[in-house]
Structure 1
Amino acid sequence: MNYENVYEEKKLLRSKMRKLLKERYSDLKNIQAAGNSAAQKIILSEEFINSDLIFSYIPYGFEIDPSFLVEIAWKNGKTVCVPRVVPDSNLMDFYFLDSKLSLQNQLESGAFGILEPKLTLKKVFTDSSIRDKKIFMVVPGLAFSKDGARLGKGKGFYDLYLPRLLKTGCSLFTAGFAYCEQIVENIPVEKTDFFLDRIFTP
């Protein structure tokens, strides 16, 4: 495989998808409506119903919004965690959110101007403490294929974090969260790219 070609193909697809999302999802109402619709499908899934922990994300820019999913998870007594980037690295950690507090009161501006959980919240340690947990992870991206391939933003945060999580022995289900327009026929992949279990769209 020519990884130089893969890099260029990914770069072109990222540019195309960013332009598409900016054109179609510049309205916050559309972003939230799409997120709510996709979330309705997730909450009916067996994997979500049986999960202990929900790993979600805080949307940035034109990303589909999983906020409604977080609210439903809390109402169903589930624990929700969101990511925070480790400064000057391609690594991230997840932090537990407090269901008794509003989401906004637990966030602060972090890396790349994205809202992140405050450092006063408890960090999820990727060790034996979560070995017996069933984790449902909602994963963002720029594009997805039906077979579970994902095109991220190019920093490799999820591709680096997921192996760490799996080493704990936890039960992990990964769900791509996307607009219908983000589903493409083919995504160029490298050996370090992680495939998702299922893609959920509105």
Structure 2
Amino acid sequence: MAQKLSEKAAKAALRKEFKAKIAEIPKLIKESQSRIVAQLFLDAPKVQKSNRFSIYLSRDDEVDTTLIIKTLIQQRKEVFVPYYKGDQMKMVPLYSWQDYERMPETSWRIKQPEDGDRRQDALNLGGLDVIVCPGLAFGMNCSRLGRGKGYYDKYISKCHQMACFPFMVGLAFDEQMTSTNLALEETDRHLSAVIYPAIYKKNTRPTSSKRPVSPFVKMFKYKF
């Protein structure tokens, strides 16, 4: 019990720390980093080969997923988005870009479909290839700190129970990355990969006229 309390206290402190860090990022920097992350994601061979994506609908304190969603729709990929009700979350189909634009915002400043109750979960429609997860902070070891509701950890467990094992990707601003292990509780899930701008900026050095390839893209190429 004492250990659980200390884990919860540690998470609460980390959430407070990273909320403050994110709040200090200028809007233009967020927009610039979001564009880099979106392009890294869309360029990855694993993404290009996949067809069924669950993608969070971003708030202003998260990497913007608008470009990713719009591009995948244009590529005729199947896109699913979160629908929250109480302590449960399911991934429901996004029918079109117009469907996205019509969605109202919840009190959490998150878009979601008004008729989400009537839309089936992705797990009843063939499963998912990739889940793009939001978070307040991400570890270099692909651990993730959410907002404390456990929506994604529970949904990923449900996927595994139904023999669905999607590739799980976190999208982060540089300021959200840490060397700290954020998987402090047994129920915390590690992601398959985290994309953040610095992995492109720091680790890609042009040695020829060819465009450098990010370590993230290499990882997708050789691991999958």
TM superposition score normalised by structure 1: 0.87
- CA apart distance, 1:115: 1.7
The alignment of Structure 1 onto Structure 2 pairs a total of residues equal to: 194
State the AA in 2 paired with 1:200. I
1:52-201 correspondence to structure 2 within 5 Å: 52-86=51-85, 89-99=86-96, 101=98, 103-105=100-102, 107-110=103-106, 112-119=108-115, 122-127=119-124, 129-130=125-126, 133-186=127-180, 187-201=182-196
Tell me the equivalent position of 1:9: 10
Give the partner amino acid of 2:110: I
Judged with a 3 Å threshold, the aligned counterparts in structure 2 of structure 1 residues 157 and 15 are, in CA distance, closer, same or farther, namely: same
Contact 2:80–2:122 under 8 Å retained in 1 = no
Percent identity (aligned): 23
111 and 125 in structure 1: CA distance in 2 versus 1, 3 angstrom threshold:
farther
- 1:118 positional shift: 2.6
- Structure 2 residues without counterparts, runs of 5 or longer: 198-224
Root mean square deviation of aligned Cα: 2.0
Q: Cα gap change, 1:80/1:175 in structure 2, threshold over 3 Å: closer, same or farther?
A: same
Structure ranking higher in strand proportion: 1
Higher helix share: 2
Aligned partner of 1:99: which letter? S
Write out per-residue CA displacement over residues 145-169 of structure 1, whole angstroms, 9 at most, x where no aligned residue: 1111100000101011111122232
SS of structure 2 residue aligned to 1:114: coil
Maintained 8 Å contact 2:81/2:92: yes
**TM-superposed deviation, 1:125:** 4.6
**TM-score (normalised: structure 2):** 0.79
The unaligned stretches of length 5 or more in structure 1 are none
- Residue type at the aligned position of 2:7: V
SS in 2 for 1:112: coil
